[in-house]
């Protein structure tokens, strides 16, 4: 299996699909891995693009490091991947936590290799409620997730899959296979990495990173997202990126790469090829 090695010795697993063409890098959400993007990767590669999707450190087949489970290191790992593969004119696509990773990459490494940015149900600009971020969610929301991760993460992932992640608790008809895949990917993630990543996606302030974005940006968000509410995430991110285009999926939940697969694929391809 292909890996790149970071400065601290972590091995980052990645998939590299397609026969060439404009590169697209897909960054996954918590507590998942690159498999969460398989359908999109196959679609984009079939339509003429080189598609790279990696397992974030601590997740899936990558090294379960004790340290570095935070956004700065995630972004630096992404830089290692992009530079090792010498990818240029890249479209970065991030779902949920992956949206934070790609935005922090821009904040730390710039856009010299980046042509476009796509945020899908993404955690920026800042999920946690603070004095200067009153629109965020209270810390108790994330403390509850941490408590579930610490006490019985297998049940936590089952509860998320059967409830808010896919919107299954809203009487949406979500295939059992999608929910089982979420649980399985979550259980391959290292326990410490998963626990620390909760702080990474909730308490990282991406407002300065968004201000540094100077490439065409597409923001896609469902307005019934119970994980990253639209008013907290997509709406505010689009306001902070100069010229960003916001596409709202009415009635859609957090897991757009599964629940709104065909529409998302079309929107991604149209934007990448524009």
Catalytic site positions: 96, 225, 254
Residue with the two structure tokens 């990543």? 197
Alpha-carbon gap, residue 96 to 251, rounded angstroms: 17
If DSSP codes are grouped into helix, strand and coil, which group holds residue 180? helix
Alpha-carbon gap, residue 92 to 114, rounded angstroms: 7
Alpha-carbon gap, residue 130 to 127, rounded angstroms: 9
If DSSP codes are grouped into helix, strand and coil, which group holds residue 89? coil
Q: In what order do the strands lie in the sheet with 245-249?
A: 3-5, 11-17, 50-54, 23-27, 90-95, 114-120, 217-222, 245-249
Which one, of 83, 124, 133, lies nearest residue 102 by Cα? 124
The answer to whether the beta carbons of residues 75 and 104 sit under 8 Å apart is yes
List, in sequence order, every beta strand (DSSP E) within the chain. Answer: 3-5, 11-17, 23-27, 50-54, 90-95, 114-120, 217-222, 245-249
3 exposure class (CB count in 10 Å sphere: 0-12, 13-18, 19+):
middle
What is the 8-class DSSP label of residue 249? E
Side-chain half-sphere of 157: how many Cα atoms within 13 Å? 23
């Amino acid at each position: 299996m292909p890996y790149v090695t970071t400065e601290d010795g972590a091995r980052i697993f990645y998939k590299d699909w397609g026969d060439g063409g404009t590169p697209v890098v897909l960054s996954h959400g918590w507590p998942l891995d690159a498999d969460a993007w398989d359908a999109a990767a196959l679609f984009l590669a079939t339509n003429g693009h080189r598609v790279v999707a990696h397992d974030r450190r601590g997740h899936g087949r990558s090294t379960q490091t004790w340290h570095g489970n935070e956004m700065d290191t995630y972004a630096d790992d992404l830089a290692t991947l992009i530079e090792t593969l010498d990818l240029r004119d890249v479209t970065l696509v991030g779902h949920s936590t992956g949206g934070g990773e790609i935005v922090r990459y821009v904040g730390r490494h710039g856009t010299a290799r980046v042509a476009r940015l796509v945020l899908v149900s993404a955690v920026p600009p800042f999920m946690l409620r603070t004095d200067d971020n009153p629109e965020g969610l209270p810390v108790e929301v994330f403390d509850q997730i941490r408590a579930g991760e610490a006490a019985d993460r297998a049940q936590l992932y089952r509860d998320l899959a059967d409830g808010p992640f896919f919107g299954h608790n809203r009487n949406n008809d979500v295939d059992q296979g999608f929910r089982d895949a979420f649980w399985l990917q979550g259980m391959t993630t290292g326990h410490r990495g998963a626990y620390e990543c909760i702080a990474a996606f909730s308490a990282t302030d991406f407002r300065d990173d968004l201000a540094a974005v100077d490439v065409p940006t597409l923001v896609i968000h469902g307005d019934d997202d119970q994980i990253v509410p639209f008013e907290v995430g997509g709406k505010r991110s689009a306001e902070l990126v100069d010229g960003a285009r916001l596409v709202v999926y009415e009635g859609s939940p957090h897991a757009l790469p599964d629940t709104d697969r065909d529409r998302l694929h079309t929107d991604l391809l149209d934007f990448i090829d524009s």
